[in-house]
Chain A
Amino acid sequence: MSEIIKVGMADLNVCVAPNGITTLGLGSCVGIALRDPVTKIGGLAHIMLPDSTSIRNNTNIPKFADTGIEELVKQVVAKGASRSRLVAKIAGGAQMFAFQTKSDMVRVGERNVEASKKKLRELKIPILAEDTGKNYGRTVIFYPETGDFIIRAVGRAESVI
């Protein structure tokens, strides 16, 4: 029997096929799924903020796109994935409220997506698919077996990217 591993907010974990890995109710946060298609080892991070270097209190590694993605890469490689074969899919980064007054918090979803992409580019990990932005929450489930990244949202058909 395979199981589904749950990842919370500001959290990450690795996952080996046939197991799946999920994070529920992504809003402005971004979910980054990594996978080695050969060993079928993968992982998922749920980051909240774009950049650890712009904040003084930054010891919570999975909270930030930059440090979170680095740590996820480290952990999937430690589990046996090949660093050079890693591919990524990302989802989330919505703007839940139409107007958010505090200037640096405006577009945090969009900035989370940008920062995640930038970090993946730096690490030369190709992004195979994304479902980001817009104004609604997403639950994601990732299967390292097939690379399927399933996305569920309220009042919308389930999609696989």
Chain B
Amino acid sequence: MEKEITLETMSEEYFDVLKELGNIGAGNATTALAQLLNCKVDMQVPQVRLLDFKELGAAIGGEERLVAGIYLGVEGDITGHIMFFLEKGSARHLVSKLMGMELAGEEFSEMEISALKEIGNIITGAYLNSLATITNMMIYPSVPDICIDMAGAILSVPAIEFGAIGDKILMIQTRFLDDTDLEGYFILVPDLESYGKILRSLGMA
């Protein structure tokens, strides 16, 4: 039987590989975002962090911060989920930019929600594409779902999935800059066996 690789037992070297995949994915996502919005988008070097559940709230600037979370299933050679979330104000900024108009009111309309889903789709798609290219694996995203609520509540969903296999969560924080400062986070939740597959595909395990 092949040895299972988990975030807890993973060597520094493996962790660095996952970090690098995260960096490349976030870079690709930034390019996709720039193309979508048809403007220049800069990205700061993403921070990849392995966190205890208890630290999660502080790491994202508070559990009660309002965020928009876009969540997709991942199928193909690896399985799991990917989440992209960003602060609600940043989400509104992106949607208004995409739709080319100021948004009325505080809440998202149905149309704006669809636009936000599409942004999430493109960003996560670009992220997964780079992962697929590097690892030479087939990776298909499912239809995205969206939720706007407290960060803690939204993050409980991927956290619970990480929780089923360990006590840590791997999070990639990306700061995008167009004319405003946008902070986005990626969380890729591969199923237990998928870690091994990713690393083996790179000749690591």
Contacts and interface: CB of A to CB of B under 8 A. Distances in A.
**What does DSSP make chain B's interface, helix, strand, loop or mixed?**
mixed
B142 A49 contact: no
A136 B156 CA distance: 12
B21 interface: no
A27 B153 contact: yes
B136 to A, nearest CB: 24
Contact of A96 (B66, B142, B149, B164): B149
Contacts of A135: 147
B163 A97 contact: no
B153 A105 contact: no
B170 to A, nearest CB: 15
Contact of A8 (B6, B53, B143): B53
Nearest to A94: B153
B163 A63 contact: yes
Contacts of B73: 100-102
B145 A9 contact: no
Interface string A109-142: 0000000000000000000000000011111000
A24 B63 contact: yes
Interface of B: 6, 8, 53-57, 62-64, 66, 69, 71, 73, 79-81, 142-143, 145-147, 149-157, 159-161, 163-167, 191
Given A8-B56, A55-B164, A137-B156, 10 more contacts: A8-B53, A10-B167, A25-B64, A25-B152, A27-B152, A27-B157, A57-B166, A97-B71, A99-B145, A101-B73
Interface of A: 8-11, 24-29, 48-49, 55, 57, 60, 63, 94, 96-102, 104-105, 108, 135-139, 154
